[in-house]
Amino acid sequence: MAFAFYLSAAIAIGATVMVVTSANAIHGLLYLVVSFLAAATVLLLFGAPFAAALEVIIYAGAIMVLFVFVVMILGVGSRERRARPPGRAWIGPAFLAAVLAAELAYVQATGRATVAPGQVGPAAVGASLMGPYLAGVELVSVLLLVALIGAFHLGFRLGERQTPGKKGGGA
Amino acid sequence: MRPPVSLEQAMMFAGILFLVGLVGVITRRNTIFVLLSLEIMLNAAGLAFVLAAARFRSAEGQVMFLFVLAVAAAEVSLGLALVLWLYHHKRTVDIDRARDMRG
């Protein structure tokens, strides 16, 4: 299974370098999704299926959707869309994701990533969370509440000031 | 199931991801890319926790990964709200334009 780790790690590092060096925000987001998927594959290979599922659902799902919302609201990259022929940006990330899917299918077919004694499953993580780390869970809930109130505060004042400026803006 | 490679190689992988994110934070001027690079760095830190704990077959690494995930979610929601605020007030997402730090 070492080659599977090397392949996933190479895809993750390459996609991350593409994120940092890309000029268009949407292209960077596509490569970052691929990077998170590769990291999830690495987690699966190391016997952490719960963390791999969280990586896909929260990082590649929720957080990336938030970024896409903001990029679309701000219209970053609309100039590039006009300048370049459309529909070429998805080929690189799609190819890397296909390589990852093939690797995952191979690992599953050889039976090495199924439930095994060395794996730490969701049940063990949940028991640890509700046992010795209960105070941490409460602190995380307070942190998320603070983030919610902060984002609401920033967005609330934004809505108040946006109305008079909207006539002349239009950008 | 044994971990596929040694702990040193896994830590090197997480460290390289962290370094790439750090280079992004330092070099990019677009605030959205700075936030993306911060996400890369947080993800690398969480990966280091899980991969190190997998070596000892412990659940603590995934617990810490959950906490890192919550910190990343809180950071990105506040950061993107600040990006929207910056854009509506200065009509730019260049982080160098937000230097004055006055209300």
B80-95: pLDDT as tens digits: 998 988 888 888 888 8
Q: Quick one: which of B103, B44, B59 has its CA closest to A12?
A: B44
For chain A, residues with pLDDT lower than 50 are 162, 164-171
Asked if B9 is an interface residue toward chain A (Cβ–Cβ < 8 A), one would say: yes
**Which residues in chain A are closer than 8 Å to B47, comparing Cβ atoms?**
39, 42-43
Report the chain A residue with the minimal C-alpha distance to residue B55: A46
- Residue for token pair 């959205």: B32
- Where residue B50 sits, what CATH number does that domain have? 1.10.287.3510
| Total number of domains in chain A | 2
| Total number of domains in chain B | 1
A13 and A73 in a single domain? The answer is yes
Q: Which domain holds residue B70?
A: 9-91
Q: Is residue A126 assigned to a domain?
A: no
A86 and A160 in a single domain? The answer is no
Q: What is the ipTM score, two decimals?
A: 0.91
Q: Is residue A124 assigned to a domain?
A: no
Residue A47 CB partners (closer than 8 Å, separation 6+): A116, A118, A119, A120, B1, B3, B54, B57
Q: What pLDDT is stored for residue A83 in this prediction?
A: 54
**Which residues in chain A are closer than 8 Å to B50, comparing Cβ atoms?**
43, 46, 48, 51
Q: What pLDDT is stored for residue A3 in this prediction?
A: 86
Distances (CA, A) of B21 to A9, A140, B5, B75: 15, 24, 23, 15
| DSSP assignments along A93-145, one per residue | HHHHHHHHHHHHHHHHHTTSSSS-TT---HHHHHHHHHTTTHHHHHHHHHHHH
Q: What pLDDT is stored for residue A47 in this prediction?
A: 86
- Residue B54 · residue B61 · CB < 8 Å: yes
Q: Is residue B4 assigned to a domain?
A: no
A67-102: pLDDT as tens digits: 999 998 887 555 555 555 556 778 888 999 999 999
d(CA A41, CA A55): 10
Asked if B7 is an interface residue toward chain A (Cβ–Cβ < 8 A), one would say: no
Q: What pLDDT is stored for residue A168 in this prediction?
A: 39
Nearest to B88 among A67, A116, A161 (CB): A161
Q: What pLDDT is stored for residue A85 in this prediction?
A: 56
**Which residues in chain A are closer than 8 Å to B32, comparing Cβ atoms?**
25, 67, 70-71, 74, 76
d(CA B61, CA B49): 5
Q: What pLDDT is stored for residue A147 in this prediction?
A: 94
pTM of this prediction? 0.87
B38-84: pLDDT as tens digits: 999 999 999 999 999 988 888 889 999 999 999 999 999 999 998 98
